[in-house]
Amino acid sequence: MIRSLLILLGVTSPLIVLPAAAKQADPALTRHLDAVYQHWRHAMVTRNFRKWKEHTAIHRRTAIVNRIHSERRSVASTLFSLPTPPPDNRTLKLLDLKVKGVTAKLIYFGPVDFGVGGKPPNNLLVLSFVKEGDRWKYDAADYVNLASLPEARRQLESGDYSHLGKPEFLPEGTVEQAPVVLRAPVKYIAKTYVYCPGREVRVMVNGISRHLYQNTKGSEVIIGGARDGLNEVQFTVNNLPGGQGSEPLAIRVYLMSQVAGVKPIKIFEYQVEEKGKVEPAATKNFVVGPAEAGRLLGQ
């Protein structure tokens, strides 16, 4: 949950002594990116919306506001409603600065503290940045819990930073802008639901909201919500290594009411029983008509 909040809300240090792995990094850029994060973090802690906009990358701001509008919530109150403040990296050790194109990452190691008590173990905190014009902006943070990777933790503690060569620690180089900018709350809150053991499922709703599910059961808010009338659902299905190719599959869309006591409406479903034939790709539709609208509004 903490990791997802960091990514969603986009959730440094005094003079940094660079370890061996980061000695080739640009010290001036390192200090600058650190200052950007400190300004962004201070804006979050003090609930300063103007400063948050100033120091957050445009594409990240758009994605966050789009999601909040898609859930019909207040932007200002939702944005700053974090269960814990963004972690302070001043107690962490900087391992590396990686730069590619207009993107950069600062990688820290140590007891990442979310203020929930106890003595946190050593884990990784990866801060991402985007350059817009001549200014660097804060993008997002990834908290990497090494509990299931004890050998990687031991290597990092011993000064072996080879684990940081993995693709997930490298900047993308480019930034994909959001396909839509929502200026106000959507009319109907909608969610995708996918059950896909052994498979990867990609879903796109109305050409805007993209969703990726891999060997899981889960749901996500549809960016842009559902529309009155015709809506489009596109999906692709691929087998994952280790899968049998015969597992059951379910792809659904639900409409969510904000009226107490009104249950979600299952407006779309593509379902395949175990050992059934799965379409590898398809485009299908659902319709939100007066009957559905009335139920959602409690009429």
99-149, pLDDT tens digit by residue?
999 999 999 999 999 877 788 999 999 999 999 999 999 999 999 999 999
- Tokens describing residue 106: 């600062």
Residue type (1 letter), 59: H
pLDDT score of 6 = 47
Q: Where are the domains of the chain?
A: 2-169, 189-296
Which secondary structure element, helix H or strand E, spans residue 275, and what is its range? none
User: What residues of the chain score a pLDDT lower than 70?
Assistant: 1-25
Say what the pLDDT of residue 44 is: 95
pTM: 0.85
Q: Over the stretch 3-18, which tens digit does the pLDDT of each residue have?
A: 444 444 454 332 233 3
What 3-state class would DSSP assign to 123? Answer: strand
Question: What whole-number distance in Å separates Cα of residue 231 and Cα of residue 189?
Answer: 13
| CATH 3.10.450, domain 2-169, yes or no | yes
Q: What does the pLDDT read at residue 128?
A: 97
Tell me what pLDDT residue 24 has.
53
What is the reported pLDDT for 208?
A: 95
